[in-house]
Structure 1
Amino acid sequence: MTAASISESSEGATRRTPWLSGVAIFVAVMTPLLAYLAPLGFAPLLALAGLLALPGLRLTRAAAPPLLILVAIALWAAASMSWSPLAIDVSKLKGYGDIESLTALKLFLQLATYGAAVVALRGVSDPGARRAATVLAYGAVALAGVAALDSLTGAAIYQTLHQVTGEAIRPDLAMVKVSLSTYALALLFWPAALILSRLWRRGLIWLMAVGTIVTSVICSSDACLGALAAGGVVWLLVYFARQTGAKVLVGLVAAPFVLAPLVVLVAVQTGTIAWLHRMVPASWDARLNIWTFAADHIQRHPFRGWGLDASRTFGPAIPLHTHNAQLQLWLELGAIGAALAGVFFCWLAYGVVRLSQRSRAEAAMAAAALVSYLVIGGLSFGVWQEWWLGLGAMTLIACGLARAVAQPQWTGLDELTPLA
């Protein structure tokens, strides 16, 4: 996703990587299937991919900065458990269920496995990466088409699949399940679009876009629509303004991590929040209440935060998490945690600046995917949800695979072998 890996891509093209190519194709095949059938499966998929990719893992200097930042976040999160109201007595941990509840431990395991998957699959040879990229792009188009058709029919396909397994599901719950596929589509749209454009399959890009938008509208996936819109604006900014646009992106990425609590507090003081309460539907009204409560409580422990997973301890005022990544980081890990996370995402954004010097199309893709992830994270999911972190890692992998498709040397799915 960053220009720092250009030299590594060149190196990967000169060596055969049949095992890594196989892992990449496996991940590409599973991604659309999980996005539709079981989005929570992105957590075990990326963990498995990391373990499978270990034989081909090559730690490089370019991979060190982001990994060190993520290690620092995990260490600070673990340290914050000492003052978190959800602190767990280690001596009372007995079974797997108790250990599985340790978010701090899971962060280190995810960093090791997801990180291994991202770093190792950047070393896939160009032929192998092109094959995996093509599978991923066609899979994204198929996912968009199936999700749109299912949403138009009231999730009839999803209900039928459940009946086949002997587990009936209510139509309204089936629609919710179908809506989850839009989050993967919103993130994978950008690398898939680049892949399809380089394979001269531009008509499929429009099909994927229409399918994603139709599903998002029918299923009320407002965050996905916002992500697509914001991603499109940033794509245009970076594509046409190139390095200047990419530099603006760095500031846009940094701002929410610095200003999120202040913006909410100012909005409360100026009456903007009260005005919005009268304008927005119930789901957004609930978000406004959560954000106001979180911003107010951030003031009590602005530097250290309330501790990891503290969001879960405020009862109905915050159901599970704040529905805003930046506010959750401020609330749980304080200014220190928010700053570390901001540095990580700004590092990714600065990689777009470097990448824009080489390819504006690849830079625009990376910028749009990054912003889409931040927009959805700023409106929908908890920071520490395993599947959401796994989907973020998958987006990084997808952007890396897309960059290997330099020319339309082949356009079908009939060249999946050999894997090197």
Structure 2
Amino acid sequence: MSTRLWPLAVALAAAPFVVVLQNRTLAPITLLAFAGVILAGLRAGWRPGPPPRLVWPALALLGWATISGLWAPELGRALDSVLRLGLTLALAVLAADALRGAPATPLIPRAAALGLGLGIAAALFDDLSGHALRAFVRRLNEAPVTLAFGLKNAASVIALLLPLAVFAPTLPRGVRVALGLSGAVVALLLPGESAKLAVLVGLAVGLAAGLAPRATRMALAGVAAVLILGLPWMLGATLPRDASALPNSAAHRLLIWDFAAERIAERPVLGWGMDSSRAIPGGTGRPDAAMRDAFGLTSPAAAQWFAQAQLLPLHPHNLALQVWLELGLIGAALMALLLAMVARACRSPAACGAFAAGLVIAMLSYGAWQYWWVSGLLLAAVTAGALPARAQES
């Protein structure tokens, strides 16, 4: 068995459980896995080959992000983000290339299944025990109410990685069915609406890819490109104008998106600069009465809740909006091209399902450059490429 598979296998076995305890550990776990794969490959005689076509739009996007730092509010933050992303991407590309020559074994699917099983069990125990597990590792005698929100991140990682095991044909069918059912149930129980939707979409797309692989890939590429390029301009017609029936957190998300769309329209071509979301003018302001009225948020309870809410806290919680906001039309076009190429490169139901789950979460939750989350996406991508050949089309 090739030793270069083991660093990735260890990361997959550990990541879901460790993320339940602390989500930021996903970045170092991923980096160590990639570095381990590369070193093991070099010792086995592997040498880097020509970069895949996917690298070029990614490099162009990073290059444009670097240039946009010139007009970003914080040049240092912009360059730091680009360097982090560039380093992680380089390691991911090299690790994927090193794994390409490794002999096919069931090690990777088994490691993914083990890690997901541990992560699902830990997340369920923590939720049912009033977050005793996560309070224990933080040396807290009593779990604060806010500790519950951390499980959203664990649910997102489970949703992202779940298709990689559920649609791995080298695993016994019973294991795959059990993982799919338990992962879906736990995601539905845990906080975080985006993870709930991502689990369902990821599994559905994986099933569709098993029946019609080429059509599924093309559909994913088209949907991703349309969302990235068109979402800011579709919001006006699609955002519900009566959010009174929604939870305050969901209604807040609508206000954030509405505010971000307005700022995008002010600088649609160049954007406000890389990683500028947290410093957009007016972003730290509160929704005024007119904005709340426009969304039907007129109750005294809503007024009290939104008095503490910012119009743009850190980022728009939407990949398309953040790319447009910070990098403008040029960045959006490059991101759309990159995602479309990634979707078309998904050669297995597992890869298609993971791509769909990641896209759902990216459009509803995290910052586009949030380091631990980007690390998780790259971990999923490298894993999809390392699945045994029987899981892929010829």
Amino acid at match of 1:110: T
Q: Using the TM superposition, give the Cα deviation of residue 58 of structure 1 relative to its aligned residue in structure 2, in angstroms.
A: 4.0
> Residue 345 of structure 1: which of 339, 343, 352 is its match?
339
1:2-401 correspondence runs (5 A): 17-18=2-3, 20-55=4-39, 56=41, 58-61=47-50, 63-88=51-76, 102-127=80-105, 130-163=106-139, 167-168=140-141, 170-195=143-168, 197-200=169-172, 202-267=173-238, 272-275=239-242, 277-313=243-279, 314-315=283-284, 316-352=310-346, 355=347, 362=348, 364-401=349-386
Residues 290 and 395 of structure 1, relative CA distance in 2, 3 Å threshold:
same
Q: Using the TM superposition, give the Cα deviation of residue 117 of structure 1 relative to its aligned residue in structure 2, in angstroms.
A: 3.0
Amino acid at match of 1:332: E
CA distance in 1, matches of 2:340, 2:251: 30
3-state SS of the aligned residue for 1:65? coil
CA distance in 1, matches of 2:215, 2:60: 30
3-state SS of the aligned residue for 1:198? coil
Q: Using the TM superposition, give the Cα deviation of residue 406 of structure 1 relative to its aligned residue in structure 2, in angstroms.
A: 6.0
CA distance in 2, matches of 1:286, 1:221: 14
Check conservation: 1:151, 1:215, Cα contact below 8 A: no
Check conservation: 1:81, 1:87, Cα contact below 8 A: yes
CA RMSD, aligned part only? 2.4
Q: Using the TM superposition, give the Cα deviation of residue 405 of structure 1 relative to its aligned residue in structure 2, in angstroms.
A: 6.3
CA distance in 2, matches of 1:50, 1:199: 24
Which digits, 9 at most, give the CA deviation of each residue in 1:29-83, with x for residues without a partner? 332332222221121122222333333264334x421112211111110100101
Which digits, 9 at most, give the CA deviation of each residue in 1:101-134, with x for residues without a partner? 822222222222333333333433223xx22331
Name structure 2 gaps, 5 residues minimum.
285-309
Check conservation: 1:179, 1:215, Cα contact below 8 A: no
Check conservation: 1:182, 1:216, Cα contact below 8 A: yes
Q: Using the TM superposition, give the Cα deviation of residue 328 of structure 1 relative to its aligned residue in structure 2, in angstroms.
A: 0.2
CA distance in 2, matches of 1:254, 1:101: 26
3-state SS of the aligned residue for 2:71? coil
CA distance in 1, matches of 2:111, 2:37: 19
3-state SS of the aligned residue for 2:314? coil
Residues 155 and 282 of structure 1, relative CA distance in 2, 3 Å threshold:
same
Could you tell me the TM-score, scaled by structure 2's length? 0.83
User: Aligned residues, how many?
Assistant: 359
Check conservation: 2:8, 2:34, Cα contact below 8 A: no
CA distance in 2, matches of 1:406, 1:258: 32
Could you tell me the TM-score, scaled by structure 1's length? 0.79
Residues 126 and 251 of structure 1, relative CA distance in 2, 3 Å threshold:
same
Q: Using the TM superposition, give the Cα deviation of residue 243 of structure 1 relative to its aligned residue in structure 2, in angstroms.
A: 2.2
CA distance in 2, matches of 1:171, 1:405: 47
Q: Work out the percentage of aligned pairs sharing the same amino acid.
A: 28
CA distance in 2, matches of 1:209, 1:236: 12
Residues 178 and 245 of structure 1, relative CA distance in 2, 3 Å threshold:
closer
Residues 302 and 48 of structure 1, relative CA distance in 2, 3 Å threshold:
same
